Chains A and B, each alone.
Chain A
Amino acid sequence: MLQGLNAIQLRNNIRDGQITSREAVEWTLERIANLDPGIGAYLSVFADKAMDQARVVDAKIAAGKPVGPLAGMPIAIKDNMCYVEGLTTCGSKILANFKPPYNAHAVEKLLAADAVIVGKTNMDEFAMGSSTENSGLQKTVNPWDTSRVPGGSSGGSAAAMAAGMCFAALGTDTGGSIRQPASLCGIVGLKPTYGRISRYGLVAYGSSLDQIGPLTSCVEDAALLLGVLAGHDERDSTSVDERMAPVPDYLGELGKPIDELKIAIVPELIDKAEASVRDAAKAALELYKKFGATLVEVQMPHFDYSIAAYYVIATAEASSNLARYDGCHYGYRSPHAHDYIEVYSKSRAEGFGAEVKRRIMLGTFALSSGYYDAYYLKALKVRNLIRQDYTNAFAKADCLMMPVAPTTAFKLGEKTDDPLQMYLADVYTIAVNLAGVPGVSIPCGFDEKRLPIGLQIIGPAFSEDKLLRIGRMFESKTDYHKQRPTLQG
């Protein structure tokens, strides 16, 4: 009965009394019980608490009281956002028993909108990875092919969405961690402008890059979620002042196409993707041309340097952010430590996984005496040049389009021995975070193995309303976003 409904349809059905939130939550919990043993998307499921939340919403509706825009909707949250229910592990052994004493701003917003939080999803440890294989706690597979990765680092949220084990999910994106798993799992993933959504209560990775965003089954649902989450919060000093960037009604004009749409493309970038991805991107551009859009070829001469700049900047920030895991205040403490230095060095060595250690060391190296100018300062200058590439592109067009990932979902284990190969999987997504601009991944096709392909639409800062309208234009004439994997529970 509920299968195939998007979040807005479900919300409307609940609000109109056609079904109850309890029924929706029970259906979702049953699906998780049947399917998740084979997918591994959830790290924790809050069955009792979710049913309590559903009962509260149902009671409000029965009493004719007003309800929020996410009334009764089962939602999943990436496990790096603090929620007072259960644990917040960040996919790490070092936080395996951490019980947050407060809710993240994004979680507060969901609850205030009457959403029901069904569980927390798996992720690459501290959001460092592109396949969710760096989780210290659990393996997650792609619902389209369980021998393949779901992408990462928000792989649990993307897999839960693709398998219909929630109606919307939250992820975070530091270098592509919402868009890339959305692409690999055949759903919509939106990385908003840096500062659009408060990160209060989000476990920090790369603070000048991190952003929270929704993973949904369609563009309309992404607009709904963004409307709930966006806005100023004084508890995050990078949260943007709404006088500078007001929060528009993202759903209001969503169905209205953009007249005389100009799309910037970098042809040689599209050609770099594997054939199936390249062809799907080109077919999508052809469809936009049929809508009356004009393609504008642009140059992005510094794009090719974005991975190198990112892995200096993000790791430098991570090395500083993760210094707080000291075995003293919260998190894992090694039982083998004999003095206070060993409390740090053994707790961290035993608590962090390999990729987190590599990134902490790389960042420490880039910031260390004698290397700071050569690596960190250099990367910040290149970051400025990369941002300039975007500014120049947006001077000529409304948006920029390119693939999300160079390939469709790759095999589990295929890249785990070679960190650099894993980093290169982020080639199309990383520059967006360096520039701080928004990007959305929408389903645009399938390869010959019936693995999903995503199209990335990127716009200037705070152009999410326009990006979503552009995405909706494509979605209204295609049904890629409606297709779901065949699953056996």
Chain B
Amino acid sequence: MNQNINRQQVERVAHLSRLDLTEKELELFSGQLAAVVEYIQKLNELKTNGVEPLAHCLPVHNVFRNDAVKPSLATEDALANAPDRTDDFFKVPRILDDSSGA
């Protein structure tokens, strides 16, 4: 790999990350991220053929529990921090466009 990050990719990654960045931030982060990504290329110096990827340090396996009902957050507690709500629901702006007439 010799794939550094350019301004165009920073814009794409900002979009994927759902970050509405200002022009100034895009400029600043492009330079800073390019420096970090260049540093990370250091990993290429190592040959890793045949090395297993290590996602997790401990020999823990999938953990199962009994399928039993336990107390959980009350509706009011779960909604207490909501930026906006209607009755027992989180309220968000319209997601589906109804202009299609469907």
Contacts and interface: CB of A to CB of B under 8 A. Distances in A.
Interface of A: 97-99, 101-102, 194-195, 208, 234, 237-238, 240-241, 244, 302, 305, 307-309, 311-312, 319, 323, 326-333, 337-346, 348-349, 352, 354, 357-358, 360-362, 364-365, 368, 371, 374-375, 377-385, 387, 418-420, 423, 434-437, 461
Given A238-B58, A305-B43, A364-B13, A358 B29 contact: yes
27 contacts: A101-B77, A195-B58, A234-B65, A241-B60, A309-B43, A311-B39, A311-B40, A328-B83, A337-B93, A339-B94, A346-B20, A349-B22, A354-B29, A357-B17, A358-B32, A361-B19, A361-B33, A368-B16, A371-B1, A371-B3, A380-B55, A382-B51, A385-B48, A419-B32, A419-B36, A420-B39, A461-B57
Contacts of A208: 55-57
Contacts of B92: 328, 340, 343
Given A348-B20, A360-B17, A423 B83 contact: no
B84 interface: yes
A418 B77 CA distance: 41
B80 A340 contact: no
B17 A361 contact: yes
Contact of A328 (B20, B58, B90): B90
A419 to B, nearest CB: 5
Contact of B33 (A102, A352, A358): A358
A99 B20 contact: no
B102 interface: no
Chain A binding surface SS class: helix
B51 A240 contact: no
A99 B63 contact: no
B46 interface: yes
Contacts of B39: 307-308, 311, 420
Nearest to B42: A308
B58 A194 contact: yes
B90 A361 contact: no
B57 A357 contact: no
Max count, chain A CB within 10 A of own CB: residue among B39, B40, B95: B40
B20 A365 contact: no
A377 B90 CA distance: 37
A421 B77 CA distance: 42
B93 A339 contact: yes
Contacts of A323: 18
A183 to B, nearest CB: 23
Given A305-B42, A357-B19, A381-B52, A365 B33 contact: yes
A292 to B, nearest CB: 32
Given A99-B80, A101-B78, A362 B90 contact: no
B77 to A, nearest CB: 4
A344 B32 CA distance: 24
A461 B65 contact: no
A305 to B, nearest CB: 6
Nearest to B73: A101
Interface in B26-48: 28-29, 32-33, 35-37, 39-40, 42-46, 48
Contacts of B82: 328-330
Contact of B63 (A237, A312, A343): A237
